[in-house]
Chain A
Amino acid sequence: MTAWSGRLDLSEFRERPRDLLAVVLAAAVVGYICWAISQSPQQALQFTFNGLSVGAIYALLAIGFTLVYSTVWFFDLYYGAAAAMGAYGIFYLRSGEALGGQYQVNDPAVNVVFGLVTAGVALWALREVFHRRLRERFGNRSALAVEALVAGALGAYMGVVLTWTNDLHVLFAPAIAMATAFAVAWLVRRAAARLPQRIDRSGFPVMAAIAGAAMGVVVGVALADTGGSKLYLSWVVSCLLAGMVGLAFYRGLYVQIIQRTRSRLIMLVASLGVLLALTALTVIVFESAPRPLPDVFGSVPWEVGGATIKGFNVFAIGVACAAFVGLLLLLKRTAFGKSVRAIGDDEEVAKVVGINTTVVIAIVFFLGAVFAALAGVLNGHDTAIQPRMGLIMLLKGWIASVVGGIGNLYGAIVGGFALGMIEQFGIWSLAGEWKDVVSFVVLILFLSFWPNGLLPRR
């Protein structure tokens, strides 16, 4: 048998003038939008609102996805599971009263698992942050004992919070109070350090502690009394849990695999295994039927120019923009952001210059999972939740970041909103079921002709 060398030349197929195509396509898009507006301005406005609402969620997903991807350069499919986990966290925490207790779930096994995850992550964080200081003061063994004790206490606390979800706001108030107290004390200390030298600063730590404690008590009491605080605290708990699981997967699993192999596809397959297992576990705990989440801010839509938009969607758009600005500040203004970018450029070099890459990447994974969970929560409140939503949300975030320009944070938010609008206007004359097809066709078009996306990375 002779080898088939396949001499059939199609290479011109790939070297078409892209810019011309881009111009033609842009003109077509503008024309299409004008046509849509002329058909029915009201529907066009409605579709714009819908596109923005969906786009906010895609943007949030894409931001987190880009953050993780541009740091480690492999696709972490756990990201989708984190989105589902965030949404199901709300369901788990709030199913008791909001839905009439109809589908109440509270599984001791789940509580124990998340308690253990919390303890593990807390132990890791304490060891990374305080271990050296504690060891110098108390010696290695007692330092370890202290850390283990604190971590165990935190884990038990999380388990308790998860078990008595109806009293979440009361149980969580001390934690919020302590966090507030620490934050205020830290701020006062920082402010004091900036004062001129001649002012006596010896009283400041005490003052800081008192002020912090007072603020903490006020916040804690206010939280325990406010009506909606349960739901908002559930958001915090849910996103935190998803983030901690993400961190745990990175630190406990991905690091191990990276040490053995440097292949991106192996990482992808491993995270595929994680996604498969977590999705199936979600079905086992919550069953596969779609579930509603409680309403937020009431469900009466606002009417603007004949079209309607829910207050919650406006809130979601605000959250996406706030998250974007916050992440941008974090990445551009802090030392942490600098080390993230350094690792994204070259992990080995970053390690050589003294960046603790494991810690930084672990925090990046935490943040990424929090973003995904937040998007999952917003999406869940907007529509409904089902175990398979994780995969779809992962893919949408992935597409949005490719459309925007992979590895570029500005591109991520632009791509998210763009994808939302494209999906909505793409199904103008089709049925709503086709929107997944529309977004994947857009993805393939972009990858074929503009692989760098709308805003290329540098």
Chain B
Amino acid sequence: MSVIPQALRERPRADIERVATVFVLGWAVAFMLWQGTGFTVTLMTVFAIWAILAVSLNLVVGFTGLLSVGHIGFFGIGAYTMAILASDASYDQLRTEAIPTPGWPFFAALPIAVALTALVAIGVGIVFNRFRDDIFVLVSFGFAIIAFSFFLNLREITRGAFGIHEIPRPAFGGWVLDGEVEFLVFALVCLGLVVLLCWLIVTSSFGRVLTAIREDEEAIAVFGYQVTHFKLAVWVLSAMMAGLAGALFASWTSFIDPNSFILLESMLLIAIVILGGLATIWGSLLGAMAFVLLEEGMRFLPFLPAEFVGQARQVVLGVLLVLLMLFRPQGLVGRYRL
């Protein structure tokens, strides 16, 4: 049992990273070539949204060491703000339990969505800042559950389990991005911006302070840095990116309901981040890609009934997490272990 893992651990780090990268990318390319363009576009759009989430969560987990399971809450707040502000009002009159929607364009609703997520994140962050380690995990579970309860039960605002329909695509003047390819490009541009922002954060002095906080909070506090403010700042930034991802998601699917924001998704997200590797942007991108490929790839397994695809993916992820924690706690290309 311990033959291969021993070899794995003693390999130089760059080697495993290269193998993982080549494997995931090769898998992706092969898969896309096999399935054709339409499939590739869908796959890449899903990837872009998950990747924004994963990269932003990695800022919190990898750079402050706080294992947040509540990230899906921010994703949901972004998505719901976008949905409520931008949903087409004329369709809404026809439905049960209609809610009034202003019907704003995408780009008017987007800043509000991100700003609202940031506001919530500030409030939550101030409360959560004092917690650490496993207690932080518990309260972040709590945040995800509270957010989900609000989405489900505040029927006057979110229409509860009915969900919100007719969320428009982004439009530049008269040019509406209603094609799948256009939206993919837009999503990838957003992903690029998020990655760029994360890269700037990570490589700046701010990022170095964050790394130092992760390694030893007391020591960096001695040097006069207000640790809580740094943690709060990165928490809010990360939440804003999640809000952006949520807005994109709402606009892409054009229909959202609370089931997209359950706690389980959040646990899958943390699994992606840890799988890819903590404290690296590249790792999160790889993790998100592997995750998307895993789900889509399992659709084509002949012996697997269609309704169990999601479950099978979850089993594989769970087993992968356990194996990683056994043999490679820092993840595939990670720089930091919990």
Contact = CB atoms under 8 A, between A and B. Distances in A.
B154 to A, nearest CB: 10
A441 B146 CA distance: 9
Mostly helix, strand, loop or mixed at chain A's interface?
A: helix
B149 A277 contact: no
A273 B329 contact: no
A268 interface: yes
A261 interface: yes
A266 B338 CA distance: 6
B226 A6 contact: yes
Given A270-B321, A277-B314, A448-B127, A257 B233 contact: no
A153 B25 CA distance: 49
A74 B134 contact: yes
B142 interface: yes
A166 to B, nearest CB: 27
A141 interface: no
Nearest to B305: A284
B206 interface: yes
Interface in B120-138: 126-127, 130-131, 133-135, 137-138
A260 B5 CA distance: 12
Contacts, number: 159
Mostly helix, strand, loop or mixed at chain B's interface?
A: helix
B96 interface: no
A259 to B, nearest CB: 10
A283 B309 CA distance: 11
Contact of B146 (A74, A260, A440): A440
Interface stretch (B16-24, B236-244, B262-270): B262-270
Interface in B46-103: 67
Given A272-B321, A391-B263, A283 B311 contact: yes
B308 to A, nearest CB: 5
B13 interface: no
Given A3-B205, A257-B325, A261-B329, A276 B314 contact: yes
A433 interface: yes
Contacts of B310: 280
Given A75-B137, A280-B314, A388-B264, A269 B130 contact: no
Contact of A265 (B67, B131, B149): B67
Interface string A10-33: 100110000000000000000000
B142 A270 contact: no
Nearest to B320: A273
Contact of B67 (A268, A280, A399, A451): A268
A398 B143 CA distance: 15
Contacts of A270: 321-322, 325-326
B137 A268 contact: yes
B112 interface: no
A277 B315 contact: yes
A2 B138 CA distance: 35
Interface in A296-312: none
B204 interface: yes
Contacts of B224: 5
Given A261-B329, A265-B338, A269-B274, A281 B315 contact: yes
A3 B224 CA distance: 11
A74 B133 CA distance: 10
Interface string A227-271: 000000000000000000000000001001100110111111110
A257 B323 CA distance: 10
A443 interface: yes
B271 interface: yes
B318 interface: yes
Contacts of B317: 273, 276-277
Interface string B301-334: 0000000101110110111111001100100000
A433 B271 contact: no
Contacts of A261: 329, 337
A440 B73 CA distance: 14
B281 interface: no
Nearest to A75: B134
A263 B143 CA distance: 24
A443 B318 contact: no
Interface residues of A, number: 56
A447 interface: yes
Given A256-B326, A276-B267, A279-B314, A6 B229 contact: yes
A99 B247 CA distance: 45
B282 interface: no
A434 interface: yes
Contacts of B325: 257, 266-267, 269-270, 273
B285 interface: no
A4 B206 contact: yes
Nearest to B200: A1
Interface string A419-444: 00000000000010110110011011
A361 interface: no
B337 to A, nearest CB: 7
A266 B329 contact: yes
A333 interface: no
A398 B138 CA distance: 8
Contacts of B253: none
Contacts of B42: none
Contact of B311 (A13, A284, A398, A447): A284
Given A7-B226, A269-B321, A434-B153, A263 B337 contact: yes
Contacts of A398: 138
A269 B67 contact: yes
Contacts of B233: 4, 6
A8 B126 CA distance: 13
A388 B263 CA distance: 10
Interface in B209-227: 209, 224-226
B4 to A, nearest CB: 15
Interface of B: 67, 126-127, 130-131, 133-135, 137-139, 141-143, 145-146, 149-150, 152-153, 204-206, 208-209, 224-226, 228-230, 233, 263-264, 267-268, 270-271, 274, 308, 310-312, 314-315, 317-322, 325-326, 329, 337-338
12 contacts: A3-B206, A14-B130, A253-B326, A263-B338, A272-B318, A273-B325, A274-B322, A276-B314, A277-B317, A279-B264, A279-B314, A437-B146
